[in-house]
């Protein structure tokens, strides 16, 4: 079964750091681009970042550029999101999501995890 399992969320003070993980199983992790998407309480979906299968390319939303870093360890089938200089507005449920094609381009997200909650508050 194809599965994504996020972890690492929690309560952090403004200005602090946190690293999220997403463990993948049931598919050839290394050949698919992977994404982070977040959803603030009661709000819509916001794309955060994408990384190509080979880690050669990474892209970010303007709201997190320079503060968040996406990475992956294909030997461990795990995706990461290192978050620094966290702000109250980063409070959200963070999902990891798999690209639907191994084509090297960027497509629909066909598999999502259940998310991990990040709360930024003093």
Partner 1 sequence: SYVLTQPPSVSVAPGQTARISCGGNNIGSKSVHWYQQKPGQAPVLVVYDDDDRPSGIPERFSGSNSGNTATLTISRVEAGDEADYYCLVWYPSSDRYVFGTGTEVTVL
**Binding stretches for partner 1 (CB under 8 A):** 35, 37, 44-47, 50, 59, 61, 95, 100, 105-110, 112-115
C-alpha to C-alpha distance for 19 and 86, rounded to whole angstroms = 11
State the nearest-atom distance from the C-beta of 39 to partner 1, in Å: 9
Q: Which of residues 27 and 47 has its CB atom nearest to partner 1 in the complex? A: 47
Which residue, among 87, 96, 85, 110, has the nearest Cα to 23 in the 3D structure?
96
Q: Which of residues 31 and 61 has its CB atom nearest to partner 1 in the complex? A: 61
Give Dmax over CA atoms of the chain in angstroms: 43
State the nearest-atom distance from the C-beta of 16 to partner 1, in Å: 26
- Half-sphere exposure in the Cβ direction for 72 (13 Å, CA): 28
């Amino acid at each position: 079964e194809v599965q994504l399992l996020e972890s690492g969320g929690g309560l952090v003070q403004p200005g602090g750091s946190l690293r999220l993980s997403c463990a993948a199983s049931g598919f050839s992790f290394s050949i698919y681009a992977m994404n982070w998407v977040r959803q603030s309480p009661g709000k819509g979906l916001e794309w955060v970042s994408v990384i190509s299968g080979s880690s050669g390319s990474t892209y970010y939303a303007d709201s997190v550029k320079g503060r968040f870093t996406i990475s992956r360890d294909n030997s461990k089938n795990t995706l990461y999101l290192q978050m620094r200089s966290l702000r109250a507005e980063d409070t959200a449920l963070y999902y990891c999501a798999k690209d639907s094609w191994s084509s090297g381009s960027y497509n629909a997200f066909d598999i999502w995890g259940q998310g991990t909650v990040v709360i930024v508050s003093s």
